[in-house]
Structure 1
Amino acid sequence: MQSEQGDKPQAATLSLPARITVAVTVGVVAVGALFHLGMVFLHVAPSNTLSKQHATAVSDYVYPEFEQNWKLFAPDPLQQNIHVQARAEVRKAGGGTETTGWVDLTATDVADMRHNPVPSHSQQNELRRAWGYYSDTHNDQNQSTGSGGSDLSSSYLQNIVAGRLGPRLNGGTVVRIQARAATTSVARPTWSGESVDTTTQYRELPWWTVTTAPAGQENAS
């Protein structure tokens, strides 16, 4: 008795247009990844002819989203707790205005991260890096240090604060916002023999006028 032999199964293959699409997509992703790695490398590498020649383009690409910070591995890492706080001037329906109390935005992020096994990148780094970027490009009188990026760092921090507070607070429309940093030095261990002032120091920034209401829900201070 002759056994029946079915057709040999054929491996699924992509059509020519599909293969072209996949190849183009892979190529674009590869070029984009190489471009990103190249720009970040020029940013973190020691100063050289190429990085000097394209310094403006590199800075425009890296700041503020891809800024690199290696202070965690420095010989003298950060030894301060910095909380970014904000308040708003609100215009009421009757035409009057009121100033809200200070809202600790950093404390809100910390509370959201606590007991969260996968906190978001924004919760961990957005405020911290925005404040670091601003303080790196402005002196204690909130004047530009001339190192470049001062306008960008200011608008970046302003947009984050405005987005966190929302367009409406306490039944009114937010017309101005203000941010400040509350900095507290971390107490040294007793065995170190060091003594530091752990009093919280505040640095207030000028008021910013809210020109475009950010998307958000009404909050209460």
Structure 2
Amino acid sequence: MDAYDKGPTARRSDPEPRPDRLRSPSPDEVPGVGHVPEAGQVPEPDLPSPSLPSPSLTPSPPLTPSPPSAAPRIGLSALSLRYQIAAACALVVVALVACVHVTMVFLHVAPSNTVSKQYGRAVDGWIYPEFEQNWKLFAPNPLQQNIAVQARAEVRTADGGTRTTGWYDLSARDGADIDGNLLPSHTQQNELRRAWDFYVSAHDSENRPNGLRGQLSERYIRRIAVLRLSHEDGLTADGKTAAGKQPTIARVQVRSRTTNVAPPPWSDEKVDPKPLYREVPWWTVTVADRALDSNSNSNSNSNSQSQGQGQNGNSTRARAAADGTDAR
């Protein structure tokens, strides 16, 4: 109350605050003293409380992206300038050699032309022997020669002598059978031609055989000639046979007649029209050759009765010749 208030009406002043009761501080409030663990409990270490960064008063500058790092160099670019020049020169040399090789191979396999004729020796020197080629870029030149196979025989006459016949063009006989025939047989087209090619490839220019293939080719072409000539007219002087039997052929001889095909009228090419002959020695007809001839005659007679004479008889004789050659 105020100092001047007196009597019963005097106002009471607000009570003065009393001091708090004195109490002992808790272990948490005592600095340096942590929580006292209970019995049997392991005390935990005190960890510092994370402190929040204080905001900076000045604004931070904006982040600028860093320039991308250069990619590592690979290949020729990874080399130094000196090695790059050396590698480039090596690549140029390899490319030039490859171009020259391709050009040489092309001239070697291509048909004959002006360049290959002029530089033929250089091309052969590059190709042989390491890069030899056994193929051609284009089809080979067509055959510009006609090759005809001819044969003649030495037959025994009725009086015991011998007589030599004229030359029979066996290739012309095959050509006559093929002309007008829509379905000619392989025998008519290929038997005689392949037999002669077989003989030529198995003999040298002096008609000497090259091993066993040479002897086989001789038997093959000889038996074909015997089979063909035994059915030709004119083997005897009067052109007939006694008692319907074929004359006995003692020996046969074969030759080829090669003539050049005439060039077309618009061509300036000059060729020699004179034929070229290649004669082989006389071959003695063996017993095996005559046995094949007898078999072919019987087959020809049976075929002529059932299907007629001509084409079937020729096919039977050709099959007999082929079978006899294969059997031996």
Give the TM-score normalised by structure 2. Answer: 0.42
1:205 to 280, 294, 302: 280
Match of 2:222 in 1: 158
Pairs within 5 Å for 1:1-221: 74-145=139-210, 149-166=213-230, 169-170=235-236, 171=241, 172-212=247-287, 213=290, 214-215=293-294, 216=296
Separation (CA, whole Å) in 2 of partners of 1:114 and 1:92: 35
Structure 1 residue 119 displacement after superposition: 0.8
Q: CA offset at residue 189 of structure 1?
A: 1.8
Q: Distance in 1 between matches of 2:195 and 2:263?
A: 27
Larger Rg: 2
Q: Distance in 2 between matches of 1:177 and 1:160?
A: 10
Residues 101-129 of structure 1, C-alpha deviations (whole Å, 9 max, x = no match): 11111101111111010111111111111
Q: AA paired with 2:275? A: T
Q: Distance in 1 between matches of 2:263 and 2:145?
A: 11
Q: Which runs of 5+ in 1 are unaligned?
A: 1-69
Give the residue type in structure 1 aligned to 2:248.
T
Deviation digits for residues 62-108 of structure 1 (CA, Å, limit 9, x no counterpart): xxxxxxxx99x842222111111110001112111110011111101
Considering fraction of residues, name the structure with more strand: 1
Kept in 2: contact 1:182–1:200 (CA 8 A): yes
Runs of 4+ residues over 6 Å off in structure 1: none
Structure 2: distance between partners of 1:196 and 1:190: 13
How far did residue 200 of structure 1 move?
Answer: 1.1
User: Taking CA–CA contacts closer than 8 Å with sequence separation of 6 or more, which of the two structures ends up with the larger relative contact order?
Assistant: 1
- After superposition, the CA RMSD in angstroms is 2.3
Q: Given that residues 167 and 174 in structure 1 are in contact (C-alpha distance below 8 angstroms), is that contact kept between their aligned partners in structure 2?
A: no
Residue type of the partner of 1:90?
V
Residue type of the partner of 1:118?
L
- The normalised TM-score by structure 1 is 0.60
Matches of 2:208 and 2:194, distance apart in 1: 19
- Cα shift readout 1:39-70 (whole Å, capped 9, x = no counterpart): xxxxxxxxxxxxxxxxxxxxxxxxxxxxxxx9
Structure 2 distance, partners of 1:99, 1:144, is 26
Identity over aligned pairs, percent: 55
Aligned partners of 1:145, 1:191: CA distance in 2, in Å?
Answer: 43
